[in-house]
Amino acid sequence: MKKRKLGSLEVSEIGLGCMGMTFSYAPFPEKKDSIAVIHAAVEQGVTFFDTAEVYGPYNNEELVGEALAPYLDKVVIATKFGFNIVDGKISGVNSRPDNIRKAVEGSLKRLGVETIDLLYQHRVDPNVPIEDVAGTVKDLIAEGKAKHFGLSEAGANTIRRAHAVQPVAALQSEYSLWTRQHEAEIIPTIEELGIGFVPFSPLGKGYLTGKIDENRKFEPGDIRGVIPRFTEEARVANKALLEVITQFAERKNATPAQIALAWVLAQKPWIVPIPGTTKLHRLKENNRAADIDFTPEELQELTAASEEVNVTGARYTEAQEAATGL
């Protein structure tokens, strides 16, 4: 697989989001099966793996650390801080310097590494100046506990203020053919500053694969069961976007998932999506999206056609936006 740059950090052009192996998308696979997917990703050329302290909490980092232990010289591991975790429950944001340091020490231990390759603030903490957050990460980098600094779901002004204290390598935020709010201000800002972009949920939490219709029943513990964009009515209404993607998939001899990922990849050369999966065949399918090339005319046509569809439903509930690391 080809490589791309997130700031000065070089990674595979498609990464692997590991969250769903233990968090948000129940039921979860057996640990050995998740490890097999991570190993297969390495074999297919993936070098960029995403986890976080709150995924579980904690057990996702343990899983990723165990799975990647034989490959630490070949891979880049990204993890995140920024929440209170009380008795195993997520309890609001917390990016106070002492909590950042506590989180990092735990992450280093669970991942089994001496240095975190890419350390993100998971969500902006309105009670802590971003300069204090960036300064703490700067100190951690100087101490050898982290190599690169990242932000997640941060606004343009926050990104600029953080970057002035400690250069930001990557911004991780949701981006896909049905979630494009960052095109107005965020993407131009990070392009100006030389910051890479890591889209999470580039397949629309699975909807853009075309495998989730209005008859799908979500298991308890699957966040899609309460997300407005995944109500039965929304899934029916949003089929119009799937039809656009499917038409292009047929023309390109590809799957809808591959078209959706290839579209994200085609937007900028410094964009590295991190689709998540727990299935070996989906991993292979996703990674083959890197082989799809659009002509400028095809890309323009797909973008224009998708823009004609009004996507129904908010991407999260207000409570999820406020209280979780999703």
Residues acting as catalytic residues: 55
Radius of gyration of the chain (CA): 19
DSSP-based three-state secondary structure for 9: strand
Phi, psi at 77, each rounded to 5°: -110, 125
How is residue 13 annotated by DSSP? S
Q: What is the largest CA-CA distance in the chain?
A: 54
Q: Are strands 9-12 and 3-6 parallel, antiparallel or unpaired?
A: antiparallel
* Amino acid sitting at position 18: C
Give dist(CA 149, CA 164) in Å, integer.
Answer: 12
How is residue 209 annotated by DSSP? G
10 Å Cβ neighbour count for 323? 15
Give dist(CA 253, CA 50) in Å, integer.
Answer: 29
Task: Please spell the DSSP secondary structure of 61-81, one letter per residue.
Answer: HHHHHHHHGGGTTT-EEEEEE
Q: Are strands 116-121 and 76-81 parallel, antiparallel or unpaired?
A: parallel
Between the alpha carbon of residue 167 and those of residues 9, 150, 153, 171, 190, the distances in Å are: 12, 9, 17, 11, 11
Is residue 190 within a helix (H) or strand (E), and if so which, with residue range?
Answer: helix 186-193
* Amino acid sitting at position 169: A
Residues 51, 21 contacting (CB under 8 angstroms): no
Residue labelled with tokens 């029943």: 217
